[in-house]
Amino acid sequence: MKELCLTITLPSLQVTIPEDELDIQHLEKFVFHLTKVIGQHILTSILQFLDNQLRKERKRGELSNCGKRSKYLLTLLGNISYSKHLYRDQTVVCWMKPSS
């Protein structure tokens, strides 16, 4: 199996925590929420990267690109949304039943 090289750049972050919330419970909840947000960003970036890899490596002439669609996933990190390419097999002909 070949290795995929992916670089993910995280957005800069400025944190403001009120002084009255500087206790372990508030800090723990804050870090947990922050970790989920960063994880969602990373997971979305990986899915977009893999979709682009599949698009580049697909067999030309067999599948036609039908555009992009938004997809949603429920993960351990929460809901994430991303865009993926849709393809149609050009070798399969779909016949519709004639209406009666």
8-52 pLDDT, tens digit each: 887 777 878 888 878 899 889 888 988 998 999 999 999 999 998
Residue 20 has a CB neighbour count (10 Å cut-off) of 7
SS3 72: strand
SS3 22: coil
Show the domain range for 52.
Answer: 25-89
Number of domains in the chain: 1
Residue 49 lies in a domain: yes
Residue 32 lies in a domain: yes
- Which neighbouring-strand residues pair with 89? 63
Per-residue pLDDT band for 99 (boundaries 50, 70, 90) equals low
What's the predicted TM-score (pTM) here? 0.70
In angstroms, the Cα distances linking 68 to 1, 36, 48, 75 are: 27, 26, 11, 21
Residue 4 lies in a domain: no
Residue 12 lies in a domain: no
Residue 99 lies in a domain: no
Residue 6 lies in a domain: no
